[in-house]
Each structure stands twice: as structure tokens, then as C-alpha cells.
Amino acid sequence: MPLPYYVSPEQMMKDKAEYARKGISRGRSLVTLEYGDGILLVAENPSTLLHKISEIYDRIAFAGVGKYNEFENLRIAGIRHADVKGYSYSRGDVTAKALANAYSQALGNIFTQDIKPFEVEVLVAEVGDANGARNEIYHILYDGTIEDERNYAAMGGQSDEIRRFLKDHHKEGMPLNEALQLGVRALTVTQNKTLNERDLEVAVLDRTKARRKFRRIPLEALGQLLGTAS
């Protein structure tokens, strides 16, 4: 029987982190912005069928970057968590915070215990209600690190540059079209190309909507908001 040879835990974690980061940085980016009526999520995603952004519960949305099958698993687990909780207590008791913590635990465990870490970053956003409760945005990394973000967040390939760009340009209470145009500019800040509505997946958590706040923005409306409609 061959002896397993020794690798220091430090080295092992470093290797895993590097592996995960590489996987994530290959993927396209995603940004989230708070705007006047809620939270906007914009992803560069040419597919109209395989989503990166999705609805979790009444006021909560999910977004993932990296390996599709891995964040898809997390997405479904999140919907289950939220639906069971809302069914057994009440709809108002489902919070982004509890969900973000569950994701953080799951990703942390996978990172330390499995040979291959998940190559994903996920984002959980919850829109506040009209009477002043504030928006919440949680950003969870491949190793379970969890951060709460204000005003804007970016994940995926060139997220550092995008974040810097958003820091300089984000204003509070922007209307939807302005926020969307800023989001799209942020996604292209590191690359010499323009994105049109066909390259984008866009959704909002709109606090003016009735119960379920999540809404995908369809292609035609996207063109109008971007001001590119002919």
C-alpha cells in the first residue's frame, strides 16, 4: 500500500483557493445595483435558457457565477430552504440573512472537506419594503466567506475592476434605466467590446410590485431601457 504523502494544511487550502479562483475568473461577470425602486441584477449571459439570476422567494433573489451545475444545485437548495421555512412559519419569516448563512456553511464545508471546492460565487439579495426597511445584499465566496454589501456588488471574472468602477459612479436612488446603463458599462469596463441586450440577463426585485417582487426584464423592454431600441 502506497503511503499518502504529507501536504501541509496551509498548502492544501492555498491550492484549493487558487483552483477555485481560477475557475471563477474564467467566467463572465455579474453586477448588482440598488436603484430607486429596489435592486437590479445584471449578468453577461448570452443564453436565454440557462439562467444565472433567479427568484428564491417573495423578496429574495439569487445570482451565481462560475460553474453552472454547481450554482444551480445551490439555487435549488435555496428555493427548498425558503419554501419549507415559509410554509412552516409565515412568508414574512423567510430572510436573505438565514439563506446567506446556509450558503456560507455549505460552501465552507465543501471547501474544507471535499477534494474539489465549488468554483462558484453566489449572491443573495433581499429588497426592503416600502416602509423603510433597507435592502440587503450578501456575497458568498467559494470558501464560505460571507460579506454584506451596500449599494452595489460585483462577482466573477474582473470583479475588482468592476467594483472600483461602481464605487466611483454609483449614485443612490437612480431610476431603472440609469442603473441598468451603469451596470452594463461596469460589465464592459475591462473589455473592449459593447454588450447589447442579447448578451444580457437582467432581473429586478421591484419593491412596488405586490407579493412576489422578482421580475425578469424581457428583451424588448431591455432595448428600450438601454436606449438602443430602433
Partner 1 sequence: MDERWRSLFHDYSNSSFIEVLRRESPHLIPGHEAPRLANVVEPIHGTTVLSVRYRDGVIMAGDRQATAGYQVASRHMEKIFKSDELSGVGIAGAAGPAMEMAKLFQTELEHYEKVEGENLSLEGKANRLSQMIRMNLPAAMQGLVVVPIFAGFDEKAGVGRLFKYDITGGRYEETNFDAQGSGSKDARDSLKKLWKRDMSRDEALRASMEALIDAADEDVGTGGPDLVRGIYPSVKTITRSGFGDVPEDEVKRLCEAILGERSRSGNGA
Q: Which residues bind partner 1 (CB under 8 A)?
A: 51, 54-56, 76, 79-80, 83-84, 86-88
CB atoms within 10 A of CB 164: 13
We find the least distance from the C-beta atom of residue 220 to partner 1, in angstroms, to be: 18
We find the least distance from the C-beta atom of residue 102 to partner 1, in angstroms, to be: 13
Tell how strand 200-206 and strand 214-216 pair up.
antiparallel
Nearer to partner 1, 14 or 80 (CB): 80
Nearer to partner 1, 76 or 133 (CB): 76
We find the least distance from the C-beta atom of residue 13 to partner 1, in angstroms, to be: 26
We find the least distance from the C-beta atom of residue 79 to partner 1, in angstroms, to be: 5
Nearer to partner 1, 51 or 213 (CB): 51
Nearer to partner 1, 55 or 197 (CB): 55
We find the least distance from the C-beta atom of residue 114 to partner 1, in angstroms, to be: 13
Nearer to partner 1, 32 or 54 (CB): 54
Nearer to partner 1, 87 or 224 (CB): 87
We find the least distance from the C-beta atom of residue 56 to partner 1, in angstroms, to be: 7
Name which of 144, 153, 196, 197 is nearest 40 in CA terms. Answer: 153
